[in-house]
Each structure stands twice: as structure tokens, then as C-alpha cells.
Structure 1
């Protein structure tokens, strides 16, 4: 934003910048839900930060063998996807949408997924993330990107937030439950 711009109601951090040509700008970190963190760190400090050391790879940078190695245990697959130590960057929306695309019930134990299902899930995660990026994210309430534009990914939701509505695939009502403490929507007929 221009130098001197006032912060918004959810601005958590302000950085005043000066370009080499002398132009001044102001960068705001707005975080409505207060989930974010701003940290100025050296590589050595990052190496000592437990959260950073334990953060899993992003799905767009992970191959099938690496994804397979990261998925372990008996917990529900959605719980594993939401664990940032397993895979970074997967939130509730992306987990629900990818599991629907892959035809996997979010409550299924990770150990019960076969190799083909794991590959399909990684492909679905990538597809959902790329679609969301192309559509500037989801503006369910008040999300805006750095340029102030609303996202459009919410217009593509197959399941997220649509509990009780018909499944786009089969027409049956979408079910709701809680997995890993998060609201979860899925199709009992399409997702096994």
C-alpha cells in the first residue's frame, strides 16, 4: 500500500519499505483469524525452530514415494492430512475437497489405504491446490489476496460447507461429521 496507509482492523504487523528509487510503500500482514506468524530469522535460527524443522513438505513438491513414506499409522486419513508435520499447507477445505476427488472416506485409517489410493490422493491434493491457486484462494468470509482481490475457489467446492446438499457426483446428500476436531463433509456413496 502507499506509505502512510492506515492499518485495518486485522492488521497484525506493518513493514515500511523504501525502494532503491526512493519510493516508499507499506506492507501489512492482515490475519483475521490470528493463525499466522511473522518471523525474521537467519537460516541458523530456522534450523533451531522446532516448528520449522518438523514442517512436512508441500504436496506440490512431493513425489508418490515420498507421500507414501509420510503416511503412517491407524489414524484417520483426514487427520494425517491436517497434520503439518506430515504434509504442509493442507487445511480443512483442501483436505475435504481432495478426499472427495480421490473417492476416499475422510474417516478411513491411513493404514487401510492401498498404493493406488495414495497416488490418487496425492494427485487430487495437487489438482485442488493448483485450482485454488488459479482462482486466488477461497473468500468464504473476508479473505482477500495481497492486491485486495477476493478468491473464487469457493465457487468450485464439491463438498466443503455443503453438508446435506446433493453430491455433484451421485446426487445423494452429503454427510457431515467431525474428524480431528474439524467439521468434515463427504459423500458416503462416492467416498469409500
Structure 2
């Protein structure tokens, strides 16, 4: 599943579209689009105004919070709208020439730009989607349930988000209301970097451990962004290139292999219904 580094890599890869006008949009699968611009009780059905899809508007800005990408567009009258892209398990966003639209079977939306390039949203498993919002303030409301962005998380913000919860720290890191952008891959990696057992209860973490974890989260995510994200199966950047961050994984998906830090065998369990890998030597439970 694409996490913050993959979405940030996509955001950066799409920056060349800023300043260009969207001249058309081909909606090939209506149910992946949630139109929240018209007050419809069923945003996945009905016709969509081309303006809601950004047609006739200039791409003004690309913003991100956690795992979600916001494409801010502005029409000739100055009205802002936002196209929010959520990648789910297998979503991809490609920037291609008109003759290179990939795998039509799973391409659900295609935006045409004024320079003949196309922005394609592809999602084979359809856990992701696109949400259309009528203003920048609507985006603020849409993102209000999310916690602080993981790339800039501070120890104080993390401490406040964890509170006195008795759930496992791994489960808390997966909660997008606590911290936005961390998923299964980078939760395992950050916990290993911070020497914290994923089963540790949030309420049992010491102040120095929370500080170390916030630093580890920021560091792991930045390293992954520099490597253009992790490609394990579906993920590609907008140029259809795979990332290389998976080459740096120290514990994720390495159950039964030697820990790269101490040589002990990596163990595995399930926390919050997600496979979790850790080193029992490097990441002991607090006593």
C-alpha cells in the first residue's frame, strides 16, 4: 500500500503540471469518483460537472497530508476546487504523453492537459479513489480528522496523539487520526530504528522513547522519499519508474531472516490485523 513517501514522490513527480490548464477529463469508471461539490446524497452516482473535475481550470498547487494528495485548481473566475487522490492498496498516478496511456483495463480517470500530456489514475484493486471538493476550505474540513503529517511530526505532537492509550504502539501508528502517513511498512521500520517493541503499550512509553520514535519516523520517511518510495508490487512514480526504498528495509517482511543490526532472527506477529516484524533483541519490551 502506498504510504507517505510514495505519495510525496508522486506529488513531486507531478509538479510539472502546475500552471497548465486541464482541457478535458475522461471518467471511465464512475464509482471511483466521489463528487462532494453538489451536495448529492450519493456522491458516487450521477453526472459530474466538468468544472468539478478541473476542466477549464489551471493547476494551481499540489498539496499533501499523510497519504492523500490534493490537486488544487483555479478556474478563470478565480474559484478554487480540489481533486483529492487516495491511492488505497494499488493506486497509481501517471503523467504520460497522449499516446502512452497505460493498461486501459484499470485506468479509471484520464485528465488531458493543454500540452497534450495526460494524468492517469489507475487502481487495479479499487480501494482508492478520487474525491472532488468545491473549495480549499472544504479540503480543510475533509482533512480535519487526520493527525499531524508524519514527515514533520514532533515529539510533543506524538505524545499528545498517543495520550494514555493502552493499545500497542504499532496499532497507534497505523491510526491516521494519531499521525497521518505511516502505514505498515514504515511503522515497522521506524519502531526498529527507535528500538521500540511494536507490542509496547502507548502508556508505557517513556518520554525519551517518544522523542526517539518521532525522530525515527521523520528520518525513515525522508530516506524513503530520497529513494522515491518502496516498490513491492504495484507502486510506480508518475514516470512509471519503481522506487528503491525497499532495498533499505531492515525488518519489514523479513521474518525468519537475520536482523541487520544484531544478527538475531526477526520475529513476526499480527497487530491491528497487520503483519508485524521486529527484532526481539534490538526492540525489547520495557521492564
1:122-141 aligned at under 5 Å gives the runs 122-141=214-233
C-alpha distance in structure 2 between counterparts of 1:189 and 1:124, whole Å: 18
Closer/same/farther in 2, CA of residues 25 and 88 from structure 1, 3 Å limit: same
Partner of 2:272: 180
Q: Which has the higher strand share?
A: 2
Query: Which one of the candidate residues 155, 179, 190 is aligned to 1:64?
Result: 155
Q: Is the 8 A contact 2:152 2:218 kept in 1?
A: no
Q: CA deviation at 1:67?
A: 1.7
| Structure 1: unaligned runs, 5 residues or longer | none
Match of 2:15 in 1: none
Q: Which has the higher helix share?
A: 1
Bigger shift: residues 91-100 or 36-45 = 36-45
TM-align CA RMSD: 1.5
Q: Which entry has the higher C-alpha Rg, 1 or 2?
A: 2
Q: 1:120 to 1:33 in 2, by over 3 A?
A: farther
**Greater RCO (Cα-Cα under 8 Å, separation 6 or more):** 2
1:142 equivalent to 2:237? Answer: no
Alpha-carbon distance change, 33 to 191 in structure 1, aligned in 2, over 3 angstroms:
farther
TM-score (norm 1): 0.91
1:96 correspondence with 2:188: yes
User: TM-score, normalising length from structure 2?
Assistant: 0.62
Gap runs ≥5 in structure 2 = 1-95
Q: Which residue of 2 aligns with 1:2?
A: 97
What is the number of equivalent residue pairs in this alignment?
A: 186
